[in-house]
């Protein structure tokens, strides 16, 4: 899904229409200031869906679905990725001054995180 980007002499305006999302967002957070070529995440969620998008810069992501299939993408400003529950996410690399926005379907709950790939494989092997 792409956001609508509108460019003019005064800058760029990015827009998401929430009715197009597969869930109603209840939380928004953003990640910035990540050192160049440095990664983050390395976890999954049991119940939370997320919609991740580049607000600035490029962010390389890698996702593993419950069947073990991998997807790698580079998000550029306006690009987004829908991350359902029970998917593993690695934010592989951030470009200089990048900003990643995340819309989440649930409030923060550390107990619903999947912290290790071994746990992820155990939980998804029964699906």
Structure tokens at 35: 């050192």
pTM of the complete model:
0.89
Q: What are the DSSP calls for 29-72, one per residue?
A: EEEE-PPTT--EEEEEESS--EEEEEEES-EEEEEE-TTS-EEE
What pLDDT score does 20 carry?
A: 79
pLDDT of residue 19: 81
Q: How do the domains of the chain map onto residue ranges?
A: 25-124
Examine the pLDDT at 1 and tell me if it is beyond 70.
no
- In this prediction, residues 25-48 reach a mean pLDDT of 92
Q: Is the pLDDT of residue 2 over 80?
A: no
Q: How far apart are CA 15 and CA 21, in angstroms?
A: 13
Q: Which CATH architecture has domain 25-124?
A: Sandwich (2.60)
Q: What is the pLDDT of residues 77-127, one digit of tens each?
A: 989 999 999 999 999 999 989 999 999 999 999 999 999 999 999 999 865
Phi-psi region of 77 (alpha: psi -120 to 50; beta: other; left: phi over 0): beta
| pLDDT value of residue 52 | 96
Q: What mean pLDDT do residues 8-15 have? A: 88
Tens digits of per-residue pLDDT, 40-68?
889 999 999 999 999 999 999 999 999 99
CA–CA separation, 59 and 54 (whole Å)? 7
Residue 83 pairs in a beta bridge with: 50
């Amino acid at each position: 899904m792409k956001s609508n980007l509108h460019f003019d002499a005064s800058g760029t305006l990015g827009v998401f229409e929430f009715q197009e999302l597969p869930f109603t967002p209840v939380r928004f957070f953003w990640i910035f200031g990540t050192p160049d070529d440095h990664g983050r995440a390395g976890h999954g969620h049991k119940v939370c869906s997320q919609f991740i998008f580049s607000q600035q810069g490029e962010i390389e992501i890698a996702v593993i679905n419950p069947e073990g299939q991998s997807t790698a993408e580079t998000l550029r400003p306006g690009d987004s990725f829908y991350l359902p529950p029970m998917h593993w996410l690695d934010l592989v690399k951030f470009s200089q001054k990048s900003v990643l926005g995340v819309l989440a379907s649930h409030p923060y709950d550390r107990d619903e995180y999947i912290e290790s790939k071994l746990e992820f494989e155990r939980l998804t092997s029964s699906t």
